[in-house]
Chains A and B, each alone.
Chain A
Amino acid sequence: MKNLIKVERARHNLTQGALAEKLGVSRQTIHAIETNKFNPSVTLAIKMARFFEVTVEYLFEIEEND
């Protein structure tokens, strides 16, 4: 699954640590999501979309082989 977390994070001028703090998760979690090593739970995906004021579908995109 591809995602635009890094792009949105840069748009909001936030570090991984700052975003993690705002979402109540660890910095490692943000790094793992950005590098596609970890798919977030539905709850976290919705939290992220709300924080960036975008839709979940915009933030996360399912790939062919998913």
Chain B
Amino acid sequence: MKLRMLPNWFKKLGFIIFLIGASVSMYEGFMEGLTGTPSDSGQFDSVKNYLGEKAIHWFDILSILGMIIYIFSKEKVEDDYINKLRLESYQITALLGLSVTIVLYTFSEDIKLTLDYFIILFLWTYLITFAIKKRLE
């Protein structure tokens, strides 16, 4: 199966978008960890104050978008073997995601998770699986 992919230079673009989105959306949590001051104290609300209440959410979306662009960009050399590794990584990611969801549901019927947990789990699992496969196989 041939997948239509973005050109290789989109990898850099995706990475930059991810860095911008992630650095802003993780700023509060990072500062909480660094200073020990709770993030809801209002001390690290500079982004919210400047760009509005929903700004963090949009930077979150930006980081996810950056990761998606990175994932759907071609490698420097794209061939049948790389395609095979990519498809195997998708397969492992789908199975792992399904397994984690089923296990969570089995142990806690009332568990409530926001959608971003599943998106992040899916994207990171894919990226790590593909990187490992490319280096070890």
- A→B interface (CB under 8 Å): 20, 24-26, 28-29, 32-33, 37-38, 40-41, 44
Contacts and interface: CB of A to CB of B under 8 A. Distances in A.
Contacts, number: 32
Contact of B80 (A20, A29, A37): A29
5 contacts: A20-B77, A26-B77, A28-B81, A38-B81, A38-B84
B40 interface: no
Contacts of A40: 80
B80 A41 contact: yes
B82 interface: yes
B137 interface: yes
B134 A28 contact: yes
Contacts of A26: 75-77, 79, 81-82
A15 to B, nearest CB: 15
Contacts of B82: 26, 28-29
B81 A32 contact: yes
